[in-house]
Amino acid sequence: MGVANISIDLIYAVPYQSLETWLDTLRRAIALEPDHVSTYCLSFEEGTLLYRRRAEGRVPEVETDLQWDQLDAACTELEAAGFRRYEVSNWAHAGFESRHNQAYWRCRPVYGAGAGAHSYATDGATAWRWWNVARPREYIAAAPSPRADGEELDARKAAAESLMLGLRMVDGTAVPPGFDGELGRLQRDGLVRRIDGRVVPTRRGLDLHNQIALAVL
């Protein structure tokens, strides 16, 4: 018996990656017949070798137009292969949406164990998150309480975060009180729409979710 549930993660906007090589990557991934595919735009994180190489001019910038072309290609190829985009970066066949990640996007309680693990809890209004010591040796030495730090989110901040994360999902979230101004502006910009008491992202809103996050948080 083989593995019945396969997910593939792909990265686009990679230096030296053309639209043609990205299309080839997508088609090879689809040919493996996974039930779930994630596509992520490469980010240059400060402190990494790739970040330094770019700063030194040894790794080229990827043109914005090419990044959008690659994202459009992912949408076209994956939808043609029967995948449904259900979140900003995720596509799945029906019934194979990530349960694990949906816990984060729906702001459900999450309890992390191990070095660097993050946890989240809420009473429906206020929320709390905390995280463990990151280095394994220090984590072990800190037992039985390896917590590194944490923060409390008041009701407004918790609601804003819940709205922002809910709008990562195609089916959106219930319209929360107190955000009419923000949602009105997002609606006028074509990033969200309201349907039967819910607010959902448009295709433009999914592609430009960072603008939703900036408006809400």
| Predicted local confidence at residue 189, as pLDDT | 98
> Once rounded to an integer, what is the mean pLDDT over residues 123-130?
95
Average pLDDT (167-189) is 96
CA atoms within 13 A on the CB side of 113: 1
User: In terms of Cα–Cα distance, which of 129, 119, 110, 89 is closest to 8?
Assistant: 89
Judged against a pLDDT cut of 60, whether residue 8 lies above it is answered with yes
Is residue 86 within 8 A of residue 170, CB to CB? The reply is: yes
Query: Which residues lie below 8 Å from residue 199, measured CB to CB, with a gap of 6+?
Result: 163, 167, 172, 173, 174, 175, 183, 192, 193
Q: Is the dihedral of CA 29, 33, 39, 45 positive or negative?
A: negative
CA distance 13 to 61: 9
Mean pLDDT score across all residues of the chain = 95
What integer pLDDT is reported at residue 4 of this predicted model?
Answer: 83
CA distance 204 to 11: 20
Look at the alpha carbons of 207, 210, 214, 217 in this order and tell me if their dihedral is positive or negative. positive
What confidence score (pLDDT) does residue 145 get?
87
pLDDT score of 42: 95
What are 84's strand-pairing partners? Answer: 92
> Band of the pLDDT at 15, cuts 50, 70, 90?
very high
Question: Which of 114, 143, 145, 119 shows the shortest CA–CA distance to 131?
Answer: 119
Joined together, the tokens standing for residue 12 give 């686009």
